[in-house]
Structure formats: C-alpha cells, structure tokens
A and B are shown apart, each in its own frame.
Chain A
Amino acid sequence: MQQTKTVEIGTGAFVALGFAALFFLATQTTSIQRFEEGSYDVTARFDNIGGLKERSPVAMAGVRIGRVESIVFDKDRYEAIVTLRIDSRYDTLPEDSDASILTAGLLGSQYVGLQPGGSDVFLGDGDRLEFTQSAIVLENLIGKFLVNSGED
C-alpha cells in the first residue's frame, strides 16, 4: 500500500509540474495572452511596407504598445492594408497620429512607429490612420541618389 501511495503522489506531482511548464510556455514566453485581454484594432494604408511582418512591434516614443495583426494587399489601389492591434491601456492616441515603418538599427527588423498628432479625438476600434509614411527601401534610396547626382 505504501508503494501505491508513492506512485500516486509522484505521478500527481509530475503531471502537475508538466502542465505548469506548458502553461508557462504558452503564456509567459509569448505575447499573445496580454493583448487578447484588452486591445483594439486600427488600420493604416502604406504604399510599401518593406520587410514588415505579422507580429512586428508597434511602438510610440520607442515604447512597445501593440503589434501588427495582419497585412493584406488591396488589389484596387495597389496598397498594403496593415491592421495594428494596440493594447487598450493606450486608449488616448490622437486620431491624426501618423504611422511610419521604421527599422531597428541599420539592418534590423522593421516595426511600425506612431507619431502623436494634435487632435483631441482619440483613436478607437476600427479607425483608420490617415497619415502614413512607407518603409524606406535601400535600393530605391540609392537609385534616387544616383539619378540626382547624374543631373548635377
């Protein structure tokens, strides 16, 4: 009987620990959980998103406030529609804020940076950011530079 007890306690402890570890991995190592709790979506149109990907960060003043939820291509206007999911803790962003696609470091990954506007009206779920600035693509930049220097 003593042996049965050891087995039961040992198995119980092991399974509990296993599930605790699974829970830890599912909630603490990824950011999914936090944003599901409370967030709102806004969209922005870009001519060129460069290397932006789903789950790329959205930041304001360098602080992460959300992430890119989805990226779709608008085949009528040849633009990219990017949905940004923003943590509902940050619910006082002016509606005329502008969004630009920036690069972390010289060759780092890209993220969406928000620049606050001056409006008293705040962004809410489903709103659209009117002012956007596309990603700077290095090749285009070099191309432009070469053309300009040729004209001189």
Chain B
Amino acid sequence: MRDLWEAFTGFLRTFGALQLFLLRLIVESPRVLMRPRLVTQQIFNAGALSLVLIMVCGFFVGAVIGLQGHSNLARFGSEDILGLFSALSLMKELGPVITALLFAGRAGTALASEIGLMRTTDQLSAMEMMAIDPVIRVATPRFLGGAISMPLLTAIFTSVGILGSWVVGVPLLGVDAGAFWSQMQAGVGTADVWEGILKSIVFGLAASLIAVWEGYNAIPTAEGVGRATTRTVVITAVVILVFDFMITAMAISLG
C-alpha cells in the first residue's frame, strides 16, 4: 500500500517536472528562434535525415493499403472509392501515427542518446560552468527541430502513401484513374486534412518533448543512456496511441 502511494507520488512528481520542463522549452523558444542556425541544424538532424526512411515506409504502407483496400472493396463492388479510402486512412490515421512511431525510432532515439551522452560526458555541466544554459543551448533547439520536422514528415509520408496506393490500385489492379482521383476529391474535406495536420503537430510536440526529456534526465552512465533511448521509444509509442484516440474521438464528436 505504501509502495503504491510512493509510486503514485513519484509519478506525479515526474509528471509535474515534465510540465515545468515543457514550459521552459516554450518560454525559451522565441529566444532560440532568433538564432535560426541552431534550429536549422536540428531540423536537418530530425527531419532531413529521416526523409528516406519516411518515404520508403510511406510508399509501402500506401501500397499495402491499396492492395487491402482493393481486395476488400471489391467484395462490395466499390473499387472506385479506393482513392478515397486510401487518402482518408493515410491522412487521418496511418500518416500521423506511423510517422510519429518511425520518428520516435529514428530521430527520438538519436536525440535521447545524444543528449544523454552529453550528460554522461559532463558536457552539460561544462556548459553550466561556462554560464551557458543547456536548456537554451541544447534542449530547446532540439525540441523545436523535432516539433517543426514532424508535420512536414507526416505530409511527405501521406503524399508518398497516396502515390503508393495509386501505383498498386491504378496501373497494377486496374482501378479507373479518373474514379481514383475524383472519388478522393469528392470525399475528402478540409476538416479531414486539418485533422491529420493537427495530429501531426501534437504528435511532433509529444515525441520531441519525450526524447529531449529522457536524454536530459538520463542517468549519467552508459547503461543509463541505453535505458533512456529505450524508454523514449516505448513511452512515445504509448503516448502517441493514446493521444490519437483522444483526438479522433474529439474530431468525431465535434462533427
């Protein structure tokens, strides 16, 4: 019973500290954005270096949606709405979620281990000693770089996915090209696009925050850094899926 209570208060403390950390990152953001070079470097690390992975995965996810969609829609004689089906599922669900999971695995772990290593090798303490705040110099640019990259990566993933679904559906399985696009355009609304964008922004903030936090608070040993990277992936995955459900439920209830 007492253990449970301690676990509970411990969780609350961590959670509170995380909120304060997020607040500091946000407060320092304008100042960091005044030095775009710091952020550019991180957009490169988090975004540009994930690009090939995102595009390859996006293409194959789209292709498999095309395949599954076609074979299932064919049972109802509705192959024509394959374009709509792929676009909606990629835009609203698969795009944001899979991109976020890939982002956690590629960029999130890189961030966590990089910052964790800086902690382990006293680089963060050294900055403190040079009167340079590591939250401003190290954490905030990385947080911003990740948060900016995620929506862009998601858009790329979704677009390439639609292309993948088209490749499977139209040239390979013989869905009418006109129907593919016109059904999609008739059925997809602005709200659907916005839902996807909103999700990717929220997921980007969450995934970047978790990665930076885990790295920043890593236990300064080799094992500690390893654990921080593992935790980054696990926690991000859970948080993303929970948020995904909440945002979807909200979007549906709002109409």
Contact = CB atoms under 8 A, between A and B. Distances in A.
Contact of B159 (A10, A21, A57, A64): A21
B193 A25 contact: yes
Interface residues of A, number: 26
Nearest to A23: B155
A140 interface: no
Contact of B152 (A10, A22, A29, A34): A22
Contacts of A22: 151-152, 155, 197
B66 interface: no
Nearest to B55: A17
B179 to A, nearest CB: 11
B40 A8 contact: yes
Contacts, number: 84
Contact of A13 (B48, B77, B91): B48
B91 A18 contact: no
A15 B43 contact: yes
Contacts of A29: 87, 91, 162, 184-185, 188, 193
Given A24-B159, A25-B159, A55 B184 contact: no
Contact of B193 (A8, A13, A14, A26): A26
Contacts of B156: 17-18, 21
Nearest to B83: A29
B77 to A, nearest CB: 8
A14 B48 contact: yes
Interface in B169-226: 181-182, 184-190, 192-193, 196-197
A30 B187 CA distance: 7
Q: Classify chain B's interface size.
A: 20 to 34
Given A29-B184, A30-B188, A11 B162 contact: no
Given A7-B41, A14-B43, A29-B188, A21 B193 contact: no
Contacts of A137: none
B48 A64 contact: no
A14 B190 contact: no
Given A17-B51, A18-B47, A29-B184, A7 B40 contact: yes
Interface of B: 40-41, 43-44, 47-49, 51, 77, 87, 91, 149, 151-153, 155-156, 158-160, 162, 181-182, 184-190, 192-193, 196-197
